[in-house]
Structure 1
Amino acid sequence: MADDPPKPTLAPEHTSEDVAIRHAMHDLAWLARTFVANAMRVTAGAGDPYRLAQQAFELGQAIQDAPSGTLVGHINDAIADAVSDGRREPGDFDDIEDATDDIEQAILRIVAARMLHQTVQVTRRENDLSTAICRLEDIREKNRREFEAEMAALRAKQNIKPSIPRKRRKPSVRVQPSRSVPQPNPIDEEAELAACKNTSEFIRKRQEQLRRARGED
């Protein structure tokens, strides 16, 4: 046996026959558990597919080798209990875990239905999966709103203002003022032109005024 099962706990008042049956059922349940777990992992793309045949053979051999006083119902119960042991009982967990358990069950049923090409069952279980996912999202949203309401009440009781994230100021860009070119003082061009002897002399004087205004020699 590749996987060693945990030892069963037995009371001292049990007879030798009871002890033999309990041990046989315990080993049988462990074989069923390891076989189903490996089959599920293989279905998901993991596990050890080369051990499935050996595990199935060991499980069948354990059923045949069960003590003579073992009822068939005991064998079936042991296998069923072992296979369903991974599931939690209702009422043992909160709403989120309850919805998560429904999601897990729907996924397992979808995989089983696909393996047997049961199209109708696949469609039904996919609807169950969608319903469970929506219920989980609703529960989380409800918990979020309740948490925010509790925090707001606590802040109001302690007179604490909610922190508002400060907006980051954009770095200011300093614009250098453009240097304007000095302009010559306004003059009466017609009067200056009349004072000059000709147009070339007027142009020369005008250029000199511009150079002096710019600080040129």
Structure 2
Amino acid sequence: MGDNGEKRPHLRLAAENDRKAVDKARARYEIDWPLQKLAANIMRVSRGAGEPYSVIQQCIDVVKGAQAFCDKCGDWPGDNEVREALDFHDPKLRDYSRPYDERSSAIEDIVEGALRLAAARLLRQDLQERHGEKDLLDGVRRLEHYHAELRAKWEAERKAARAKPAPRSKKLIRKPKL
């Protein structure tokens, strides 16, 4: 394909996304990050850390991001956009091609219960607080059960290794030096 008059192949890019879908994906970034920063900071501030002086500015950033989303997409961010931006769950637990991980699943339950409990305490919702405490303690019990099974397995392996006689090694007899 040089200068000898041959035509170069015509390359075309075929995109499955229409312009609206591309704009929406870009606009999601403008709302996702500010929303995630705000949520994380509020959680940290409520436990005694974080940056309480940044909360109001972060709220303003979320509103600006939502307005930018609306300007690009013609509508405000929906439930799905907000839910996905604030989803803290481990994506590996949703990958059903991987083996089930009891430990990680129990930890997810503990985190979910703790968040439910904390939110209920902020709003003084006794019933929700009790449900959050129950969820949290169920997760703790599952994690303790997992660790107990693991310890029992290790102990059984250790006992089996101790009960089995160690293989005797043959002593090499060396010829004395003359």
Check conservation: 1:26, 1:78, Cα contact below 8 A: no
1:128 shift after superposition? 2.0
Q: What letter corresponds to residue 109 of structure 1 in structure 2?
A: R
Check conservation: 1:25, 1:75, Cα contact below 8 A: no
Rounded to whole Å, the distance in 1 between the matches of 2:41 and 2:59 is: 11
1:30 shift after superposition? 0.9
Q: Which has the higher contact order (CA 8 A, sep 6+)?
A: 2
Partner of 1:54: 57
Higher-Rg member (1/2): 1
Q: Does 1:29 align with 2:36?
A: no
Q: Does 1:118 align with 2:125?
A: yes
Deviations 1:45-78 (A, max 9, x none): 1111111111111111221222353444x54322
Provide the identity percentage.
30
Rounded to whole Å, the distance in 2 between the matches of 1:124 and 1:54 is: 33
Number of aligned residue pairs: give it: 147
Check conservation: 2:42, 2:55, Cα contact below 8 A: yes
Q: Does 1:135 align with 2:137?
A: no
TM-score (ref. length: structure 1): 0.60
Rounded to whole Å, the distance in 2 between the matches of 1:55 and 1:26 is: 15
Check conservation: 2:116, 2:132, Cα contact below 8 A: yes
How large is the Cα RMSD of the aligned pairs? 2.3
Check conservation: 1:32, 1:82, Cα contact below 8 A: yes
1:143 shift after superposition? 0.8
Check conservation: 2:117, 2:133, Cα contact below 8 A: yes
Q: Does 1:152 align with 2:159?
A: yes
Q: What letter corresponds to residue 31 of structure 1 in structure 2?
A: P
